[in-house]
Structure 1
């Protein structure tokens, strides 16, 4: 990922928080079948390895798991808030007019090679943890144990799990840090006034005075 120094995220905790806050990641591999990508919910264990370990699973019918099994390096993309930045947000536009549109965004990229597994107990633990995480905010959370055991056993046979120790981690927060203080304020205020919730979310991340 092209990351000028002004935009780089170097703090491990901040990088991990972006991973934890991303509900659906994009896992990309390049193997014998060429480039493949899958959108997956993942778990991060911050206590395993230098940068943490990612856990997830594929449908067994999704051939991408075979690339991981063969040792292909994976790129996992965790996209955060993003917003289009209009030149009209910059006060400097009125002074010299030398401004162009851009895009502000937050993203983290994780790289590593994965271990693939099909052990039923390990898969059950993984899908239970994923379910518990995403059901936690519901008034009456659904649990894997709520379904018939034989049904769950059959479903587990249709998936392949993986553990991906993160070997390299990089992050980017492009929030107009390369602009003047008045221009940063103009972008923040312009996005905050937008009716688009994506713009508002990005504005909330931008530095204040």
Structure 2
């Protein structure tokens, strides 16, 4: 990933919350059929390993878990909101017109080696933890015990667990840090007016580069 210094973030204390807030990751692998990408909701254990451990599950019918060798190098890409930035949103454009369009976004790349867990105990624990986390904000949180036991066992048998110990973690937060503050905030205000609230807020308070 091309990573200009103003946009580079490597501090896990900034990147872990990003993953927790945007858990749907693109798992990029290289197997017998070449490059592949699977989009999976990941659970992050930030207390395990040096940089954390990612866990997820795939359908048993998904060939990924059989084609990959144990310990294969993989990449998981996590992405937040993104948006087009018009030159007209920069106050300085009205003065010298030396601005061009761009696209702002935030991504985190987690590199590591994959382990396959065709293990019902691992999968039950993973599913229970993910369910508790994602159901916490619901008015009536669903739990696995709400469903018939034989149904849950059938669902557990239909998936295979994966685990990735993160060996390298890097973020690219392209949020106008290379612009004057007035231009960055002007672009944020323009996004806010269009309803892009999350991206606007990120641009108002971008993380400091830790490269």
Question: Which contiguous aligned blocks of 4+ residues in structure 1 show a shift greater than 4 angstroms?
Answer: none
Q: 1:151 and 1:108 mapped to 2: Cα distance?
A: 36
Specify the alignment match of 1:205 in structure 2.
202
Instruction: Please give the alpha-carbon distance, in whole angstroms, between the structure 1 residues aligned to 2:40 and 2:55.
Output: 10
Whether the 8 Å contact between 1:112 and 1:164 is mirrored in structure 2 is yes
Identify the residue that residue 91 of structure 1 maps to in structure 2.
91
| Structure 1 unaligned residues grouped into runs of 5+ | none
1:118 has 2:118 as partner? yes
Q: How has the CA–CA distance of structure 1 residues 68 and 164 changed in structure 2, closer, same or farther, with 3 Å as cutoff?
A: farther
Cα distance in structure 1, aligned partners of 2:51 and 2:67: 22
Larger deviation: 59-68 or 44-53?
Answer: 59-68
**Secondary structure of 2:98 counterpart:** coil
Q: Is structure 2 residue 145 aligned with structure 1 residue 145?
A: yes
CA distance in 1, matches of 2:134, 2:118: 23
The Cα RMSD (Å) is 1.4
The whole-number CA distance in structure 1 between the counterparts of 2:62 and 2:14 is 32
Counting matched residue pairs gives: 205
Deviates more, 1:78-87 or 1:148-157: 148-157
Q: Tell me the residue number matched to 1:24.
A: 24
Please name the residue that 2:168 is paired with: 168
Q: Which residue of 2 aligns with 1:192?
A: 192
Superposition deviation, residue 149 in structure 1: 1.5
Relative to structure 1, the CA distance from residue 48 to residue 89 in structure 2 (aligned partners, 3 Å threshold; closer, same or farther) is: same
Gaps of 5+ in 2: 206-211
Distance in 2 of aligned mates of 1:63 and 1:131: 25
CA deviations over 1:145-204 (Å, ceiling 9, x no partner): 22122222222111110111001110011111111122112111111211x3xx221111
Summarize the Cα distance change of 1:16–1:78 in structure 2 as closer, same or farther, 3 Å threshold.
same
Instruction: Judge conservation of contact 2:70–2:114 (CA < 8 Å) in 1.
Output: no
CA distance in 1, matches of 2:146, 2:57: 21
Q: Summarize the alignment of residues 1-20 of structure 1 with structure 2, pairs less than 5 Å apart.
A: 1-20=1-20
2:208 corresponds in structure 1 to none
* Distance across 2 between alignment mates of 1:122 and 1:155: 13
1:38 is aligned to 38
Q: CA shift at 1:98, angstroms?
A: 2.1
CA distance change for structure 1 residues 158 and 69 in 2, over 3 Å: closer, same or farther? farther
Cα distance in 1 for partners of 2:146, 2:71 equals: 36
5 Å-filtered alignment, 1:50-89, equals 50-89=50-89
Distance across 2 between alignment mates of 1:180 and 1:154? 57
- TM, length-normalised to structure 2: 0.92
